[in-house]
Structures are given as C-alpha cells and as structure tokens.
Amino acid sequence: MEKGKKGRIGILTGGGDIPGLNQAIRGVTLRALSEGFDVVGIRRGWAGLVEYSREDGADNSEWVLPLTRDLVERHAYSGGTFLHSSRTRPSAVPAKDVPAHLKDKYTAEKNDLSDEVIANLEHLGVDYLVPAGGDDTLSYGVELGRRGFPVVAIPKTMDNDVPGTDYCMGFGTCVNRTIEMARQVTSSAASHERIVVLEVFGRYAGFTALLPTFAGAADRCLIPEYEFDVEKLTELLVADRNGRPEGFSVCIVSEGAMPAGGEMVFMGGEKDQYGHAKLGGIGQRVSARVKELSPQFNGGKKIDMISMNLGYLVRSGAPDAIDCIVPTAYGNLAVDLILKGQTGRMVALSDGKYGSVPIAEVVATKKVVDVARCYDTERYRPRYDGVAGLPMMVLGGAG
C-alpha cells in the first residue's frame, strides 16, 4: 500500500459480532480517506496482530486487508464484521496458540506477545489504531495505549456494558430483535396457554433483558445484578398468565442470572483468553423449575412451558437505524480525535451527546443495572418511576 499523506490508520474488530460493526468500519474508512490517510483492516481482531509475520516474503493477506471506498460501501448494511473477529488476548496467549514462527521464542504456558504486536504495527506502517470491541477487546487497547501506541477505541457490545458510554454499538438492534421475537412467540403461547421463558445474552449486566421488558415484551425479567427466588417468580408468572384473557405470560432471563444461593450456568468448562467460560442454560433451568412449581399456584394443575435461547438470533443480520447512525458517527468521531492528536480515548455517547472519554475508563469501573433505581426486586420487572434523567436506551448510566 502507498501510505497516505497524513499517515495510516488500522482498524480491527474483536469479541462477539454485532450489527453495526461494518458501519463503523465504513465511517472510519471514508472519513480517513477523505482526510488524506490510508486505511488497513486487521483481520480476526487482535489475532491478526499476533499472527502477522515480519519475515521477508511472508504472505500476510490472511491477516491484513487494505480498505477502499468500494469495499466498505459493499459491506456497510450487512451484519457482523467482514474483517472477522476473535477473542485473542495478546498479553496472555496460551502456548498452543503461539504462531509457528514465534514458538521458539515464546514457550511459557501463557505468553505476553505485546512487543510483537507493537513491532507488527510498526512494520505495517500503522500510525493510529482503532479497535472496535467490548470491555475485553478494549482492555487490551488500554494496554497498548500505556505502552505508548496511539489508540482511539469504539465501544461495541450487544450487552451495552462498556463503561464510559451510555450506548454501545449493537445494543439497539439486540433490543429490537428481542422485542420482535418475544411478541411473535406469544401467538403460540396463547394458543396453548403456556408460560414463555426467553434467555438472552448478558453475562454481568441485565440491560438486554430489562429494556425489552420495560417496552412491554415480557411480564418479568431476571438480571445478573439481583439473585432471584424461583418460587416467587413462578407465583408471579402464573398470576400474569391467569390474569390475561389470552392465557400466557413471558419472562426474559439474562444468561448471567442466578437463583438465590446459586451460580451462573455454563455450557462447558473451556475458557477463552480473557478467562470467560461460555454461559448458557439458565433459561431452560428456570423453565423446568417453573413448570414443576406451577401447580402450587394454579389449583394443582401443571402449566406447560415454551423455553427458547434467543442467543445469536438477536445479534445476527442487518443493523437497525440506530446501529447504522451511531456507528457512522463513532467512526467519524474516531478520525476527529486522530486529527486533533487526541489518542488514548474512546468515543462515547453521554447525556445524548457525542464525545469521548479516556480509554482507561474501560477498566476503571463496571457498567451494570442500577438495581435500586431501575429494578423492582419484589416484582422482577423494571421500575417505571424515576425515569427522568435516565439515558434514552439505558436503565442505568455510563458506569
């Protein structure tokens, strides 16, 4: 690539896919090209900068992709990320994942390849790096910034739990899809007079369960921030069902929700490089237990259930309007910061206004539902009083 007159910007996407990533890539690329930069996409997130080889004649086309106007326009309205993604953490790469050309140099059980990442960025001629990701992906962006590399981050996660911003790319589409699917399944639930339990993403933060319930897509919701009593939940859901002429009720459960005295439910023991095992299954457990307990509150008659894990259905496909507009703005904001020489920042939305915060905020705090203000712990549903002052898409705050 011929380097732009103002330098070269690199973009990567890490962690889970969400609708809106391709819009952010487009936003950065089109603005950067118009300002005199050239742009390179790092493929497969941080893995691309770990796997890249500086050896003479090395073919790095699997890890690096020059970005052009035509390319980013072609992918703009599709879901996911055409640069692909990974959950690689360069500061803690297991021995089995060390690239072949580095295995003689790095032999520990866990290896910090940050020096290789910085050397690879310099070899690529990248002057500024724009990582788009959640708190895991961006936490390594914080590390690069501490080591002196210019980073401007873009927050992305369908859970909306990156601290420092009211809104993360992907959240709006996730909420929209959850509402749509919850409303669709009610026709079957009503036909058979059943109770519906829908499991959604949300490891530590319950925004993806709380917001659709706030909008009327469910009667009750369970969130990671507050342990639930399944007997109380059953009583509420049975009362909801029996009090509705159509004869159904709906509960949305965050994957990280826990019963009183219990633990998170995992799909397996394998962990990614950030130490996270894959969650999943709490919805089925809640459904089975509600069915078992239902006769106590339904005149001795058991109530049949519908249990679904919405999972990837709400993070796949094209972005909604918000996840076209916000990522485009975030991409342009990132280039604005680069032009001003303001790196070590994360673009953000706060109080309805675009801006930025120090990227270190990503690791300085946690962003979770404000239970006291936003969640009715007796009724397992959102609070509807005290909405004044809350961000439009968050029952909580920036962190």
Task: Give the residue numbers marked as catalytic.
Answer: 159
Q: Which two tokens stand for residue 276?
A: 């996270």
Other Cβ atoms within 10 Å of 36 Cβ, number: 11
Q: CA-to-CA distance for 64 and 44, rounded, in angstroms?
A: 9
Q: Residue 284 is encoded by which pair of tokens?
A: 């089925």
Residue 213 to residue 346: CA distance in whole angstroms:
30
Sequence-distant (≥ 6) Cβ neighbours of residue 94 within 8 angstroms: 109, 110, 111, 273
Residues 6+ apart with CB under 8 A from 36: 4, 5, 6
CA nearest 283: which of 304, 312, 252?
Answer: 252
Q: Name the helix (H) or strand (E) containing 71.
A: helix 69-75
User: Which of 211, 213, 108, 221 has the alpha carbon at shortest distance from 160?
Assistant: 211
The token duo for 272 is 């990614």
Please state the φ and ψ torsions of residue 79, each to the nearest 5 degrees.
-80, 175
